[in-house]
Structures are given as structure tokens and as C-alpha cells.
Amino acid sequence: MTVNKELRQSVLNDRHEALGADLSTTQWNDMPIPQNYKANPYVETETVRNRAGLFDVSALKIVNVSGPGALDFLNYLLTSDVSKAEPGDSHISNIVNSDGALIDDVIVYVDGPQEFRISHGGGAFEEAAAPVAENYDVKLQRDNDVHILSLQGPVALEVLAPHTPLKLSELPYFRHAKTTLFGKPVRLARGGYSAERGYEVFCSAKDAHFIWDSILEAGKDKGVTPVSWSCLDIIRVEGGLLFFPFDMTHGDTTPWEVKADWTIDLSKPDFIGKKALQSKKGRERSFISGLEVASDRAIEPLSKITVNGKQVGTVTSTTFSNHLMKSIAMAQIEPAYAKLGTQVVIQDNGEWPAVVVKMPFYDPLRLRTHPKD
């Protein structure tokens, strides 16, 4: 495949601009994004936590992987064993280089034995995949038509369920299915980046306006509104959800250092970086950790973390959570100082006391995404 780095555009840009987004200021993954609307991101966060917010996350890239060699190709490229996933699974995995360093994180949507869709962000999946694909009977094709609308929050199910023949209430977490929504062909996936129950709608560009407007109309009486990427960043930090590469501060961070052990299957015969990962297991320089900070504002990312004047870590992602009424941060911290309850100091235009705490900060038992009923 040819890796195309040209600027992409969401067909929903007109909707974003009408909501106050300045699409000339922020882009991610080769696409302008609505970083902010006129609404306050903290108000938007309250919407997601108590009702539901609608995000346009079409900036994610989707690559279709198909052919007789597709499974073997993915199993050599990725750290997990994709053969253990079944059609309808949304399979989280990582890709590392030959030194075991993370170069992207992905979701593999398993559509069939020889058909997969790869969702990836700002990493190097496509650059790494292209030369490997030459050794397999596989076809790689970027889908620049697909648009991804993400409805996240406790009323998401009741907003969408009446408008699809799919029994949405029976769709398990991290499963997906082909169906229709408001009469349009879509794929619906249960998941998201919010630490709430949510659903992602994969549709064509020609249907994106209709589905966006229809979701908002169906959810109007329940308080559903569009929400920005600034809101997305707040809720993903509250939920302890990592963002490549911002939470991987070494530049060659390994999956072990972000506690992604569960994405690595060393029992596979071989995959890129396997030997390096085996040798680096147990030799972690730091671990991703949560911090509560004694501050009334968000700490600056990349601030130094010290103990008795010695640097022991680096702040990665931060927010001041109005919902939790706390300044919180994720950080890479040396193993000796990453134990829960450890007192540290953050250097950010002054010294800010902080304590290592359990993540996620919000809903630590994941009952919002995995309700028991």
C-alpha cells in the first residue's frame, strides 16, 4: 500500500464550524479536528457523564486488511494473537519495532476469517505494515470514506436502540456488528474513549450528515449534545485511558512500561520485536501511574517529578477534573516510586505536592462500561 499523508477532511466540518470550532488551529492524524466548540468543555464533560455526548472521531484512520494471508500478516505485525479473536470482536493490540518500542496502538475489528479493519491513531502502523505485507498474500487499503461518530454516556443505548434492528442492549463490550441505523447501512461497535457506556457508528461520508443530525434529534429530549475534543481529553484522562504517543515519554517506551502486558502474547511463534520484549520484561525504566496533585489547575505535561530533589518521573497527560474536583495526572514514574501512596513533588512553575493513586481516577471498578445488570 502507499502511505498517504495528505490532509483529510471530515464532511462534518460545516457542523463543527456552526458550533464554533476553528478548524484551522488543530489537526490530528492528518485531519482538522474540532478541539473546542463555543460550549465550555467542563459543561460538555457533565453532559457525557450524566447524559451523552456526540463526538466526531473520523480522524482515526481505518485500514482494511483482507486476503488468505491476512491473519498471518497481522499476527506477525502485532504483539497480540489475533487468531484468538472471533468475527465480531474488537481486538485491542499494539505494534512495536524490532527494539520492542511502541510505535502505534490499534483496534482490530474482526469481520471474518480473512477480513479485518484496523483503526489506528497518530502512530506508524501503515509505515510498518507496508513492507511486511509484501511477504504475505494480503491486501491493505486505507478507507478515507468512512466516518466515525461516537455517542458516549449513560443514555447512549436508549437513544440509539429504537433506531436499529440490531439488539443493541445485547451487544457486549468490545463487540461490533453490521446493521442499519436510521435506515442507513452502518457498523455499530460498543466501546469508546470516555469511561462511559458508548457506541461508535461507522458510516459512509454520504450518510454522515444525516446520521449526525438524526442522533442529535433522537437524543434532544435526553440532553444529548455535540461535544469537543477538549472534552474528550478530559474524560479520557479521568478514565485513565492512554493516548499514543503522549503517555510514552521515553521515545522507545515498551508495552511493559504502560502496563499493556495483556496485549502481548509471547507464546506466538514470532512477531516483530518479540525477542526485544522478552529481554526487556522485568527491566522497566518506569510505569504509567496516576497522581492526585495538590493544585487547583492542571499541571503542565512533561513536568518533572521529584523525590528529595531527585527526578523520578515525568508527567504525561493531565487535567483539572471538575467532575472529581481534583487536579489529576498520568505519569511515567520509576518503579521504586510508583507504589500507591508514594509522596512526590511536581516541578511546574513552583513545587506541587502529589501522591501516587490507583487508576482509573473515575469509576475505578469500570462499572459504567461494564455494568453488572
255 C-beta neighbours (distance < 10 Å), count:
26
Q: What is the pLDDT of residues 106-126, one digit of tens each?
A: 999 999 999 999 999 999 999
CATH code, residues 13-58+146-238: 3.30.1360.120
Backbone angles phi, psi at 160, to 5 degrees: -85, -35
Confidence of residue 97 (pLDDT cuts 50, 70, 90): very high
Query: In the chain, helix, strand, coil percent, each to 5?
Result: 25, 30, 45
Dihedral sign, CA of 276, 277, 278, 282? Answer: positive
Confidence of residue 1 (pLDDT cuts 50, 70, 90): low
User: Residues near 14 by Cβ (< 8 Å), separated by ≥ 6?
Assistant: none
> Which residues on neighbouring strands pair with residue 64, listed in sequence order?
117, 141
**Inter-residue contact 314 to 278 (CB < 8 Å):** no
* 81 three-class SS: coil
Distance CA 23, CA 7 (A): 12
Confidence of residue 5 (pLDDT cuts 50, 70, 90): confident
DSSP state of 157: H
Rounded to a whole number of angstroms, the distance between the first and last alpha carbons of the chain is 45
* Spatial CA neighbour of 288 closest among 323, 353, 241: 241
Q: What is the pLDDT of residues 194-250, one digit of tens each?
A: 999 999 999 999 999 999 999 999 999 999 999 999 999 999 999 999 999 999 999
**Inter-residue contact 41 to 35 (CB < 8 Å):** no
Mean pLDDT of 87-115: 98
* 247 three-class SS: coil
DSSP state of 289: E
Confidence of residue 371 (pLDDT cuts 50, 70, 90): confident
User: Residues near 325 by Cβ (< 8 Å), separated by ≥ 6?
Assistant: none
Is the entire prediction scored with pTM above 0.85? yes
Q: Is the bond preceding 245 in cis, omega lying within 30 degrees of 0? A: yes
| Grid coordinates belonging to 113 | 476469517
Mean pLDDT of the chain, nearest integer: 97
Task: Give residue 185's pLDDT.
Answer: 98
pLDDT at 373 over 90: no
| Grid coordinates belonging to 278 | 522478552
| Grid coordinates belonging to 140 | 491493505
Domain boundaries, the chain: 13-58+146-238, 60-124+254-283
Q: What is the pLDDT of residues 156-204, one digit of tens each?
A: 999 999 999 999 999 999 999 999 999 999 999 999 999 999 999 999 9
Asked if the domains 13-58+146-238 and 60-124+254-283 are classified in one and the same CATH topology, the answer is no
**Inter-residue contact 292 to 355 (CB < 8 Å):** yes
DSSP state of 300: P
Dihedral sign, CA of 231, 232, 233, 239? Answer: positive
Mean pLDDT of 59-71: 98
Q: What is the pLDDT of residues 299-330, one digit of tens each?
A: 999 999 999 999 999 999 999 999 999 999 99
Task: Give residue 3's pLDDT.
Answer: 67
| Grid coordinates belonging to 35 | 478541539
CATH match of 60-124+254-283 with 3.30.70.1400: yes
